[in-house]
């Protein structure tokens, strides 16, 4: 018989004192950076009502939340996401929605995933910030610059931040009247950059020729920013699409002025979680990790659902992946963080 008393469940792991000290060191650096930039650390409970996440459809996979039944029969979940509870908390503070408020967090996230390759798939650490009350490109620039500074502080040298614009695709879709399942299929093919199948699908849709052309172009709008912006402008079909591009261009220009252009690429095919993101969104990639290590973007509609219409943007860093990348680099170069 298996001796379960000697094992830990799938998707979680112990940290030795060396591993924990290393992690605390990186987290300490990042937390200091958050403080220096005016972000105050907050904490939300490990348990939340399932309804908090259930009502925000399309944000998280409902089946992947770890659920517990409360004594009164209500369903609770272990914190499956950091941003939604912080938006709830920020809305409950009764502040002026347009007042700039800066919050940071370092927290465990729990998900019921069965990734056999990832020993930390069910409990992992995220550190990040949320900036409420700012709806100008300067707020986007502020959080993107901070995310870049975090990777630099952790000693990562080779990384890329990919910027997208959720409104560009949303505005393009307004030109069509596609059914939900067609839209889901279309979105998936664009996200996968599956040009061949996308072409086949678009040809079967009952939409105008210029919209077909635009849909087929969206996943190709990636790479060096100047060229992408120019190409994107050529398929603009309405004023919202144009506004989305000019906003993206403004954010990119500001990041260049801050001396960060070497880290930035654009991808207008970045259209995941469109129900959640409402403007500029971004993903940070490092050389050695196959997944994005930073996820972030603007989510102006979220806090309205909690009764406080505060525009917001923020990001989360996957700390365990960051540590793996930093250690990897250390092995290659033979030096530590900083």
Smallest CA-to-CA distance from 329 within 293, 290, 289, 284 is with 289
Choose one: 51-59, 203-211, 289-297, 330-338; the region binding other proteins (CB under 8 A): 289-297
Six-digit token pair at 52? 């908090």
Choose one: 52-60, 149-157, 195-203, 250-258; the region binding other proteins (CB under 8 A): 195-203
Do residues 321 and 284 touch, judged by C-beta distance below 8 A?
Answer: no
3 state SS of 37: coil
Smallest CA-to-CA distance from 144 within 337, 326, 313 is with 313
Closest approach of other proteins to the CB of residue 292, in Å: 7
Using rule CB under 8 A, residue 94 touches other proteins: no
Six-digit token pair at 56? 């925000």
Q: List the one residue from 164, 244, 292, 296 that touches other proteins (CB under 8 A).
A: 292
- Alpha-carbon Rg for the chain, nearest whole angstrom, is 21
Closest approach of other proteins to the CB of residue 189, in Å: 8
3 state SS of 297: strand
Please identify, using beta-carbon distances, which residue of 91 and 147 lies nearer to other proteins. 147
323 to 153, 283, 330: CA distances (angstroms):
12, 17, 10
Closest approach of other proteins to the CB of residue 305, in Å: 28
Around 236, how many Cα atoms within 13 Å sit in the side-chain half-sphere?
17
Please identify, using beta-carbon distances, which residue of 93 and 192 lies nearer to other proteins. 192
Using rule CB under 8 A, residue 318 touches other proteins: no
Around 137, how many Cα atoms within 13 Å sit in the side-chain half-sphere?
15
Using rule CB under 8 A, residue 234 touches other proteins: no
Please identify, using beta-carbon distances, which residue of 167 and 283 lies nearer to other proteins. 283
Using rule CB under 8 A, residue 160 touches other proteins: yes
Helix (H) or strand (E) holding 296: strand 294-298
Choose one: 141-149, 171-179, 191-199, 237-245; the region binding other proteins (CB under 8 A): 191-199
Closest approach of other proteins to the CB of residue 270, in Å: 10
Using rule CB under 8 A, residue 194 touches other proteins: yes
126/115 Cα distance (integer angstroms): 18
Please identify, using beta-carbon distances, which residue of 241 and 268 lies nearer to other proteins. 268
The per-residue b/e assignment along 72-87, b for 16 or more CB within 10 angstroms, e otherwise, is: eeeebbbbbbbbbbbb
Using rule CB under 8 A, residue 197 touches other proteins: yes
Choose one: 3-11, 21-29, 155-163, 305-313; the region binding other proteins (CB under 8 A): 155-163
71 to 68, 80, 201, 334: CA distances (angstroms):
10, 21, 50, 53
Q: List the one residue from 192, 238, 257, 332 that touches other proteins (CB under 8 A).
A: 192
Choose one: 237-245, 251-259, 286-294, 330-338; the region binding other proteins (CB under 8 A): 286-294
Any residues with CB less than 8 A from the CB of 57 and at least 6 apart, and which? 275
Using rule CB under 8 A, residue 291 touches other proteins: yes
By rule CB under 8 A, what count of residues binds other proteins?
22
Do residues 171 and 244 touch, judged by C-beta distance below 8 A?
Answer: yes
Using rule CB under 8 A, residue 286 touches other proteins: yes
Choose one: 13-21, 54-62, 194-202, 308-316; the region binding other proteins (CB under 8 A): 194-202
Closest approach of other proteins to the CB of residue 201, in Å: 12
By the criterion CB under 8 A, which residues form the site for other proteins? Answer: 117, 158-160, 162, 192-197, 223, 265, 267, 285-292
């Amino acid at each position: 018989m298996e001796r379960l008393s000697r094992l830990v469940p799938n998707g979680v792991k112990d940290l030795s004192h060396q591993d924990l000290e290393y992690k605390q060191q990186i987290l300490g650096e990042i937390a200091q950076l958050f403080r220096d930039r005016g972000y105050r650390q907050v904490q939300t409970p490990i348990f939340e009502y399932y309804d908090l996440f259930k009502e925000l459809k399309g944000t998280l996979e409902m089946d992947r939340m770890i659920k517990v039944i409360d004594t009164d029969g209500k369903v609770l979940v272990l914190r499956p996401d950091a941003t939604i509870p912080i938006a709830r908390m920020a809305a409950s503070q009764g502040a002026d929605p347009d007042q700039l408020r800066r919050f940071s967090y370092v927290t465990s996230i729990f998900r019921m995933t069965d990734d056999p390759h990832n020993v930390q798939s069910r409990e992992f650490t995220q550190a990040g910030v949320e900036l409420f009350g700012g709806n100008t490109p300067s707020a986007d620039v502020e959080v993107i610059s901070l995310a870049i500074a975090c990777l630099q502080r952790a000693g990562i040298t080779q990384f890329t931040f990919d910027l997208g614009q959720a409104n560009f695709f949303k505005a393009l879709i307004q030109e069509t009247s596609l059914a939900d399942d067609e839209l889901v299929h279309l979105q998936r093919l664009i996200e996968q950059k599956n040009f061949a199948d996308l072409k086949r699908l678009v040809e079967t849709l009952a939409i105008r020729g210029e919209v077909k052309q635009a849909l087929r172009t969206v996943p190709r709008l990636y790479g060096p920013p100047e060229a992408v912006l120019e190409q994107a402008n050529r398929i603009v079909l309405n004023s919202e699409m144009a506004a989305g591009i000019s906003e993206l261009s403004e954010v990119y220009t500001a990041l260049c002025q801050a001396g960060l252009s070497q880290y930035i690429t654009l991808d207008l095919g970045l259209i995941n979680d469109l129900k959640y993101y409402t403007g500029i969104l971004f993903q940070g990639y490092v050389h050695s990790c196959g997944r994005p290590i930073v996820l972030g973007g603007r989510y102006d509609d979220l806090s309205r659902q909690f009764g406080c219409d505060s525009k917001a943007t923020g990001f989360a860093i996957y700390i365990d992946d960051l540590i793996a990348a930093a250690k990897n680099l250390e092995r290659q170069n033979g030096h530590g963080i900083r």
